[in-house]
Amino acid sequence: MSQEDQSALLVEVTPEEILQRAAIDRSTRLPVLFFFTSAAAWLLIATILGIISSTKQLVPGFLGIDWLNYGFSQPAFLNALLYGWAFQAGLGVMIWMMARLCRTELKNPITLVVAGHFWNAGVAAGVLGILGGYGTAMKWLEFPPMVWPILLVSYSLIVVWLVVMFSARRKGSVFISQWYILAACFSFPWIYLTANLILNVFKGTGVAGPAIASWYASNVLFLWLVPVGLGSAYFIIPKIVGKPIHSYQFASLAFWGLIALAPWTGAQDLIGGPIPAWMPAFSGAAQVLLLIPMIAITFNHYLTVKGSHKLVELSPSLRFTFFGSIGYAVTSVSAAVLSSMVMARYTAFTYVSDAVAITGIYMFFSMTMFGAIYFIVPRITGCEWVSGGRIRFHFWGSAYACITLAVVLLAGGFSHGAGTENWDSDMHDANVFSSGYLVGRILAWVFLAAANAVFLHHLALMVANAGRKAGGPTLIHPHAPYDEAELVITTEGAEA
């Protein structure tokens, strides 16, 4: 899509177009709100499991329940966070954005809701299966083998309607956000089916099993979470600041760079393991090269917002999205730096891999999804968010907590790795050496649980149509000067 085409979309819309947008929003209301509320509920469950698993690692006797020990609660937490929260929040955003960008009403909302119920049933069965001791030991694939066909079929039934909407779109250029959404639509069935066929159907994988699992985890991050998050950012940022993306050429090159390089990553997590040495070296090189599209994307977002940074203080959608863009840069740099043999000496078998995962899922993806939800929900409910103070609490609680998590896990991981490097000390001494950082992790999850509880309650009020019915949009700072708030009102009200 050309720069001129993007600019044309940001001019004042006609009454007919406003009516068309309202019809599109009504058609997507049921499935989008279903996925958002389901995701928010799973997010609160996941953060509670995060508190339990973090405490269990420091105090194994905490709660005294066998099925909540660290070996069960930690993978249950990560899978609930990924499949319960991240995927459902992403699917809700994808449905609404694809309908809006294609200017096409959703024809079968009930089908998506039914598929969503099966997805939730699969996630619930998977989490309970892990806690019951029936999970696997494969990274981000810990659900019992019976679960994956349910999730695959449910996901396929959902995204097929996104493809149908795209094929029925109004003729013209394709937006960069649509590119990313379509990439996510097709990439997950490929990587999920491939990984599960090899690991759960053709079981004789031997040492290739961990390599497949690492490849899958890396590709879920860079071929699903990253495209959905970036697609949302490329939509939200121009909408709020009222101007097109700074460089469409940069956006296109970054997209194809991500798609070309991401499938080759993953094996770098197994440096020094029982696999050919060229595999982690090749994957590490691909991970480093992914910094190129990351730099292009980060500068593109920054230059788009340049001159309108005051809006970051006022707009909930822009503040969360802009923070998420920073989180994407942090995730990419962390993954690249930690993919080298020198660093692996101190980070293998430590908390560092958890730091990269949490940074990608929460600091980048989750914060971007929060921004999209704050933008979308007023449009499909016809009312504004109840309280800017609650949004402010949600942002700062989430921002401080996820930064703390990343720092303490990285520091604790290096501390733990340094302890294991001492030839005359045992593993217990290494764990004690890093135990202080685990206290910080527990506190961070407590803050996240509080922030997510406020978010879930706030979202429930909007779903119940208890939001504000009059006035401008709900800003983070409600008493902002009129000349600053006016810019946000023109693009962020429920009628836009």
Asked whether residue 455 carries a pLDDT value surpassing 80, the answer given is: yes
Spatial distance between the Cα atoms of 452 and 253, rounded to a whole number of angstroms: 36
Dihedrals phi, psi of 422, to nearest 5 degrees: -75, 115
Say which residue the tokens 């909930």 belong to.
316
Nearest alpha-carbon partner for 57 in 443, 456, 435, 469: 435
For residues 207-212, give the mean pLDDT: 81
* Better-predicted residue by pLDDT, 172 or 89: 89
pLDDT for residue 61: 80
For the residues 175-188, what does the mean pLDDT come to? Answer: 94
In this prediction, residue 314 has a pLDDT band, given cuts at 50, 70 and 90, of confident
Cβ neighbors of 446 (< 8 A, separation 6 or more) are 51
Q: How do the domains of the chain map onto residue ranges?
A: 3-492
- Determine the pLDDT at residue 256: 95
CB distance 24 to 197 below 8 Å: no
**292 falls in which pLDDT band (50, 70, 90)?**
very high
Where residue 11 falls among pLDDT bands split at 50, 70, 90?
very low
Distance CA 420, CA 430 (A): 6
Query: pLDDT (tens digit, 9 = 90+) per residue, 104-156?
Result: 888 889 999 999 999 999 999 999 999 998 888 888 899 999 999 999 999 99
Q: What is the mean pLDDT of residues 388-396?
A: 92
In the prediction, which pLDDT does 429 show?
52
Say if residue 1's pLDDT is above 50: no
Which pLDDT value is given to residue 245?
Answer: 86
Quick: pLDDT tens for 395-447: 999 999 999 988 888 877 777 666 565 555 555 555 555 667 778 888 999 99
- Average pLDDT score over the chain: 85
What's the pLDDT score for residue 307? 78
Does residue 220 register a pLDDT over 60? yes
Please report the pLDDT score of residue 479 as a whole number. Answer: 55
pLDDT digits (tens, 9 = 90+) for 74-109: 899 999 999 999 999 999 999 999 999 998 888 889
Express each pLDDT in 40-57 by its tens digit: 999 999 999 999 988 887
In this prediction, residue 492 has a pLDDT band, given cuts at 50, 70 and 90, of very low
Integer Cα distance of 222 and 91 in angstroms: 16
- Of residues 307 and 331, more confidence is placed in 331
pLDDT band at 8 (very low <50, low <70, confident <90, very high): very low
Q: Domain 3-492 adopts which CATH fold? A: Cytochrome C Oxidase; Chain A (1.20.210)
